[in-house]
Amino acid sequence: MKKVIYSIYLVISSLVFLLLFSSSATAVNVSELNTSSKVALTNLLKENTEARKLNASAIAVLVFPVITKAGFMIGGHYGEGVLWKKAKPTAYYNTAGGSFGLQAGAQQYGYALFFMKESALDALNSTQGFEIGTGPSIVVVDQGFATSMTSINTQADIYAFIFSQKGLMAGIGIQGNKITKLD
């Protein structure tokens, strides 16, 4: 019985990774990525006043319009994004990660990283991949924090906004995320 469960687990896990990384690993057309990223950023700024305030003083904004995440015990996510500087696309990145634990589901979402300091942007560009959770301080802005943002509590290097969540992914586990510049 354990062998059957283990086999099912391996098959499902393999399918999850194939679905996530086979279709997404091919770079999206640059003009399509620019368009979807710009639309996502425009919608975020239209719907969220705090994102608008941060955008006004941000050095750059990295927008991942669609990230696909799925898993069953073992999971992963992947998406491609555009770095906007002075309203112009300047570089392209992907975000990828894996997770392990009690989890199941699939979802898509987007996120935007507002770089507030040149040193944070330098950290993104000077490494072989920017790992979330190491390096510059990152604040994920949720509804409660966003309603109380002031110049006193907006001192972080990078602010992250998650938007357009669709699907359901639940569980607990260990996960990692890495952002890498695309050529």
Q: Which amino acid is at 14?
A: S
Question: What predicted TM-score, i.e. pTM, was given to this entire model?
Answer: 0.75
Return the pLDDT at 147.
38
C-beta of residue 70 within 8 angstroms of C-beta of residue 13: no
Q: Shortest CA distance to 50 belongs to which of 118, 142, 137?
A: 142
pLDDT in tens, 27-77: 458 999 999 999 999 999 999 999 999 999 999 999 999 999 888 888 889
Distance of alpha carbon 79 from alpha carbon 82, whole angstroms: 11
Q: Produce one character per residue of 128-153: b if its CB has 16 or more CB atoms within 10 Å, e if not.
A: eebebeebbeebebeeeebeebeeee
C-alpha distance from residue 172 to each of 57, 72, 105, 153, 161 (Å): 35, 11, 12, 29, 21
Q: Pinpoint the alpha helices (H) of 48-104.
A: 49-57
CA distance 37 to 67: 12
- Average pLDDT in the 77-102 region? 92
Tell me the C-alpha distance between 45 and 84, whole Å. Answer: 14
Tell me if 93 sits within 8 A of 70, measured CB to CB. Answer: no
pLDDT for 151 equals 40
Q: Quick one: pLDDT at residue 154?
A: 46
Q: For the segment 124-140, what is each residue's pLDDT rounded down to a tens digit?
A: 877 666 555 444 445 56
User: pLDDT tens digits for 104-124?
Assistant: 888 999 999 999 999 888 888
- Rounded CA gap, 147 and 151, in Å? 13
